[in-house]
Structures are given as C-alpha cells and as structure tokens.
Amino acid sequence: MKTYAVAIIGAGMISKSHIAAINNLPNAKCVAITDIIHEKAQAAAQKVNCPCFTDAKEMLEKVPEIDVCILSLPTYIHSDYVSLCAEYGKATLCEKPLEMTVEKAERIRSVVQKTGIIYMTAQVVRFWTGYREIKEMMKNGEFGDIYMSYFSRCSEPQKWGNDWLFDPVTGGGAMYDMLVHDIDFMNYLYGPAESVYTVATKSDTNCYNNVFASLIYSGGAKGVAETSFTMKTGYPFTMTAKIMGSKATAEYIYSAGYDINQRNGAIAVLKLFRDGKTPEIINVEQYDAYTKQLAYFLDCVDRGVQPDIVTLDQSVEVIRTIDAIRRSADTNSIIRLR
Ligand SMILES: NC(=O)c1ccc[n+]([C@@H]2O[C@H](COP(=O)([O-])OP(=O)(O)OC[C@H]3O[C@@H](n4cnc5c(N)ncnc54)[C@H](O)[C@@H]3O)[C@@H](O)[C@H]2O)c1
C-alpha cells in the first residue's frame, strides 16, 4: 500500500479536522504545512513533525514528494491555489464552497480539465453519517413520493480571526459558507435545481446571515434550506435534515459544540416515522466524516480516477445555485436556473 504524502495549505480552523483525518489513515502522512501566518504554520507543523512554510509555491518547490494538497484557505482564493497545485500536477482536495463566483468556479473546472489533476471539493456532508443513510433510503424508495425536504444549519457567528468570512466578497457569510452544504446535499438527492426563491436578512457586515431558500427540482421535488449565523450565546452548531414522504418521514439532528471542529460529545440522532408503526431510531454507522472523505479521495488518486461521489460539475452547479439564491434575495424574485 502506497503512503500518500499530503500537504496542507491554510492552517486555520478546519485544517485541524483534515490533519486529524491524515493521522487517522494508515496510507496518509502529513509532509508539509503552509500558512501565510508563520506562527500558525509552525504550530500545526510541530504537532505532526513536518516542515512549515509561509508560501505555497515555495513549499511545492522544496517538497517535491507531495502527492496531494488539501486547501483549507479562505474561499475567495480557492481558484488561485487550485491553479497553483495543478501547475505542479498535485491531486487536490479543496474546501467548500468551491469559490465565491460562478466565473471563478468555472476557472477551476477548466484548470482541472486542462491539467488532468485528480480533484474533489470537500463537500463533507456527502460523507456524513445520517446524511448517507438518508441518501440510501431515498435510493431504495423508502420514503415513497417526496412531499417536501427541509435542511438547516445554524450556529453562533463563527469567529476566530477570520474576517474574510464576514465580507460579502471574500466569504459571503452564512449564505455561502453554511448553506452551500445543504444545497449541495439537496442537489445530490434531486439533481440540479430548476428555480429558487429566497427570503433572507443581512446582518452587520452586509452578508446574508439568515436565509430561507426554497428550491424546486425538475423531477418535481421541493425543498427548503435554512441557515443562520446569528444564533445567540451557547447555541450549538446544529444541522438538521427532514424528509417528508408518502411512506415515511425521516428526521436527522446533529448538534456539535461552538463550531464543527467540536465533535466530541456531539448529539446525532436519525429517526424514521411510518404510519401506524413505532418510531424507529436508526443505528447509523459511527465514523469521522473528514476521515471517510479523505480515504475516498486517496482511493480515487490510487485508482487514477476522478471522484464520482462529489464531481466537479456538481460543485460548479452548487455555486450557480448559491449565486441564484443570492440574486433572488437581492431582487425579491424567483430565479430560474434552467
Ligand atoms: N467542511 C467544513 O466543515 C468546513 C468548516 C469550516 C470552514 N470550511 C471551509 O474551509 C475554508 C477555510 O475555513 P477556516 O474556517 O479554516 O478559515 P480560517 O480563517 O480559520 O483559516 C484559513 C487559513 O488560511 C490562511 N491563509 C490565508 N491566505 C493564505 C495564503 N495565501 N496562503 C496560505 N495560507 C493562507 C490564514 O492565515 C488562515 O490560517 C473555507 O473555504 C471554509 O468555507 C469548511
């Protein structure tokens, strides 16, 4: 079994989950870490005993054995760094959202197509216990006809010196950073959305931080995705999925700590309700989704194939959908995507 040499670019909050995932896998080793803030790169690198850098290009030059780069960078520079990694022929796992604009998302697609690097957007919810069971149940027709779906992701403002996240151009607040998970998952269940209509409010930095987006899909499915960054002190990072079908209703609730890194002691329950039957608590497989995601990506690298659990075309479509959700909020009108 080959051991993959993995580099981290961006040693902020979510890099901790990626580094833990690398450490959990027998076929992965963290060989270099870059952050423009030297102290952050150094602190992370010391824990795994690898060299640190403040410039990604220098890292790629000096550590040629790198096989895979994980980009845990502010969203608005994802396309620049996918391009850089592609220039060096590195397989790249890039954090969500793919980018801030459709144009920059398209740029990533053309760079990946041109260079042929193995690429995946880290839409971790597709690997998340609870969500995976819902996807499977839907595939097996266990819900019958779907009347409505509801997805939600709410937390206190996610602040850790990451001002970029609360700027409409660089991070987009909850509408981009949080909603993208649920829009991606809804597209995974139903295919690309046909139209969207959004009710949303902005908070202090001009980002939409409270959002209800309603979506209609070509197969007739309808759903609502909610997000908020304005919950008050002590409200845990909470995600919810509800499927209302003619045969069954499912409800999944996952409640972590202040942020998604605080998963120790998280509450996760998936319940299934059917007419006339005792509600069932589904035993979901227990594993770390970030580890599952990386294991899958490395398996794709090993086989030399593009990932098909999350495809780049789907990631670009998610950014088109989020863009439409924002335009709907801006104009208070229905936006048609096709
Ligand atoms: N999958 C998830 O569950 C999840 C959760 C949170 C964040 N994210 C995503 O991960 C990405 C990073 O989010 P975060 O919360 O870790 O942000 P963060 O601000 O905590 O970390 C980003 C890091 O990148 C560094 N950086 C900035 N520019 C750089 C550059 N040019 N070169 C090298 N380093 C640079 C910063 O110094 C910072 O340490 C975002 O796209 C975000 O949406 C995903």
Asked if the model's pLDDT at residue 245 lies above 80, the reply is: yes
By CB neighbour count within 10 A (0-12 exposed, 13-18 middle, 19+ buried), where does 234 fall?
A: exposed
How are beta strands 146-154 and 193-202 bridged, if at all? unpaired
Q: Which of 72, 92, 167, 178 to mutate to test the pocket of ligand 1 (most atoms within 8 A of CB)?
A: 72
Average pLDDT over residues 320-334: 98
Question: Is 258's pLDDT higher than 90?
Answer: no
pLDDT at 278 over 90: yes
HSE on the CB side for 193, CA within 13 Å?
31
Do 132 and 193 lie in a common domain?
yes
Nearest CA, atom 39, ligand 1 = 12
Confidence at residue 1, expressed as pLDDT on a 0 to 100 scale: 87
Separation of 79 CA from ligand 1 center, angstroms? 13
Q: CA 244, CA 92: separation in Å to the nearest integer? A: 37
Protein residue with least CA distance to atom 7, ligand 1: 14
> Does the pLDDT of residue 227 top 80, yes or no?
yes
310 lines ligand 1 (CB under 6 A): no
- Residue indicated by tokens 């592609």: 86
Three-state DSSP at 240 gives strand
Q: Give residue 265's pLDDT.
A: 77
Q: Confirm or reject: Cβ of 14 under 6 Å from ligand 1.
A: yes
- The CATH number linked to 238 is 3.30.360.10
Evaluate whether residue 59 is within a structural domain. Answer: yes
Closest by Cα among 74, 81, 77, 90 to 5: 90
Residues 282 and 294 in one domain: no
Q: Starting at the edge strand that comes first in sequence, how are the strands of the sheet with 208-217 ordered?
A: 280-281, 267-274, 248-255, 238-245, 146-154, 222-228, 208-217, 193-202, 335-336
φ, ψ at 320 (rounded to 5°): -60, -40
**If you count them, how many residues does the chain have?**
338
* Residue-level pLDDT at 259: 78
pLDDT value at residue 20: 98
Same domain membership, residue 118 and residue 54: yes
288 lines ligand 1 (CB under 6 A): no
Query: Can you say whether the dihedral through the CA atoms of 13, 154, 227, 141 is positive or negative?
Result: positive
Q: 97 preceded by cis ω (within 30°)?
A: yes
CB count within 10 Å of CB 33 equals 28
Do 63 and 167 reside in the same domain of the chain? no
What rounded mean pLDDT belongs to the chain?
A: 96
Q: Is residue 315 part of a domain?
A: no
Domain carrying residue 102: 4-123+290-310
Do 30 and 100 fall within a single domain? yes
What is the C-alpha to C-alpha distance for residues 290 and 276, in angstroms, rounded to an integer? 38
Residue 124 CA, closest ligand 1 atom number:
1
Ligand 1, atom 24: nearest CA belongs to which residue?
10
The token duo for 3 is: 């051991």
Treating both helix axes as pointing N-terminal to C-terminal, what angle do 312-331 and 102-115 enclose, rounded to 10 degrees?
Answer: 170
| pLDDT per residue as tens digits for the range 85-104 | 999 999 999 999 999 999 99
Interhelix angle 15-24/289-303, rounded to 10 degrees, is: 60
Q: Are 153 and 243 part of one and the same domain? A: yes
Of residues 260 and 210, the one with the higher pLDDT is 210
CB distance 147 to ligand 1 below 6 Å: no
Euclidean distance between CA atoms 56 and 35, whole angstroms? 8
Point out the ligand 1 atom lying closest to the alpha carbon of residue 37: 37
* Ligand 1 atom nearest 14 alpha carbon: 16
The C-alpha atoms of residue 313 and residue 105 are separated, in whole angstroms, by 10
Report how many domains make up the chain: 2
Strands 4-9 and 68-71, sheet pairing = parallel
